[in-house]
Amino acid sequence: MTEGVVIREKKGLYSVAADGRTVPCHAGSRIRKGGFRLLAGDRVEIELNSDGSGFITALLPRVNSLARPLVANIDLFVIVAAAASPAPYPYNIDKLTAMAAKRGIETAIAVNKCDVGDPEPLCAVYGLAGYRCFRVCAATGEGVGELAAYLKGKTAVFAGASGVGKSSLLNALFSGCDLQTGELSRRTERGKNTTRHTEFFAVGDGTYIADTPGFTSFDEENLGIDGKGELFSCFPEFEPFFGKCRWRGCTHTKEEGCAITEAVRGGKIAASRHESYVRLYGALAEISRRR
């Protein structure tokens, strides 16, 4: 048996990095019959065939995994937003940060397209929340070196809405990726989803990066947050105010004497982040009622 890492899946065929090469593999019967869903980033055991292909015979324990995008065993989750064109949508960004926080995955924000918009409003919001923010521009190279240095030695996944320039940014960071890029629709300001699947690339110095399909929205049910009671801990900037509300059962949405809403009024928590929390709280409460 040989250990490897799944770097790509397409139509039931897996590419596994093992022993310094990429091995095309099918899932063995134990995997198929066991109902295991293999994800990009999964560590697996493979049995090599004489023709250079292989069978995946076992899935090794995961350190972590995400539901959107479907990946496993990552060190860093990089959420790419555009300073403009398309305009950033904080609620979708905040759903991603909450999903990663639930799993204890380090998250950074890369604000792309700084040549056509001002990155500072987004950086102010997420810097206040404690996230590392990078001001980058795939077109001009601004900030690309700083982000590349931060990625060194990490397994990182890039995610974000369609049209924010994830693939262009990765091409600027690592020329060997050679990812397909698309244009933004002038009518809808939505990007063409040129990335169809998640794929990891080895880019040297123990660094692995992955591009993922873009999206316009995704359901709160896919966040993996088990009800509204877990949501508070998914907003790390709320932590200093834990236990300081007037009421023990405070929902941190609108109660008088809530330490969180007072922190928002005092500028210690960004208003848009609290608005996302309130919206997510209501969505998770509705999901719980339907179950």
Both 84 and 187 in one domain: the answer is: yes
Return the DSSP state at 62. Answer: P
Residue among 141, 108, 92 at smallest CA distance from 209: 108
Handedness of CA 248, 131, 196, 163 (dihedral sign): positive
Both 194 and 275 in one domain: the answer is: no
**pLDDT on residue 108:** 98
Q: 211: exposed, middle or buried (C-beta count within 10 Å: 0-12, 13-18, 19+)?
A: buried
**pLDDT on residue 260:** 97
Both 109 and 149 in one domain: the answer is: yes
pLDDT at 285 over 50: yes
Both 177 and 103 in one domain: the answer is: yes
Q: Is residue 220 part of a domain?
A: no
Handedness of CA 268, 271, 272, 275 (dihedral sign): positive
210 touches 157 (CB < 8 A) = yes
Query: What residues make up the domain containing 277?
Result: 225-290
**pLDDT on residue 185:** 33
Both 31 and 109 in one domain: the answer is: no
Q: Whole-number mean pLDDT of the chain? A: 89
**pLDDT on residue 188:** 33
Asked which of 12-16, 222-226, 283-287 is least confident by mean pLDDT, the reply is 222-226
pLDDT tens-digit readout, 175-208? 756 654 444 333 334 444 444 578 898 888 889 9
**pLDDT on residue 195:** 46
Both 51 and 77 in one domain: the answer is: no
Phi, psi of 90 (to 5 degrees): -55, -35
The amino acid sitting at 281 is Y
Q: Please, which residues bridge with residue 156 across strands? A: 76, 209
Q: Cis peptide before 69, with omega less than 30 degrees from 0? A: yes
- At 33, which CATH number? 2.40.50.140
**pLDDT on residue 5:** 93
Both 117 and 75 in one domain: the answer is: yes
Q: Which of 26, 59, 92 is the last residue of a domain?
A: 59
Q: Is residue 163 part of a domain?
A: yes
* Residue-by-residue DSSP string for 181-197: ---B-TTT--B-----S
Both 204 and 73 in one domain: the answer is: yes
Both 70 and 45 in one domain: the answer is: no
**pLDDT on residue 227:** 79
Once rounded to an integer, what is the mean pLDDT over residues 81-93? 95
Once rounded to an integer, what is the mean pLDDT over residues 16-44? 91
Q: Is residue 216 part of a domain?
A: no
Collapsing DSSP to helix, strand or coil, 202 comes out as: strand
In the chain, how many domains are there? 3
Both 232 and 127 in one domain: the answer is: no
Residue among 83, 77, 85, 133 at smallest CA distance from 110: 133
Both 125 and 177 in one domain: the answer is: yes
**pLDDT on residue 193:** 42
- At 74, which CATH number? 3.40.50.300
pLDDT tens-digit readout, 228-267? 889 999 999 999 999 999 999 899 999 999 999 999 999 9
Q: Which of 275 and 162 is assigned the larger pLDDT?
A: 275
What are the DSSP E strand ranges found in the chain?
2-10, 13-18, 21-27, 43-48, 54-59, 65-67, 70-72, 76-82, 106-112, 132-135, 155-159, 199-204, 207-211
Q: Which of 59, 77, 99 is the last residue of a domain?
A: 59
Q: Is residue 217 part of a domain?
A: no
pLDDT tens-digit readout, 146-183? 999 999 999 999 999 989 999 899 999 987 566 544 44
Both 79 and 153 in one domain: the answer is: yes
**pLDDT on residue 217:** 65
Q: Which of 151, 185, 211 is the last residue of a domain?
A: 211
- At 280, which CATH number? 1.10.40.50
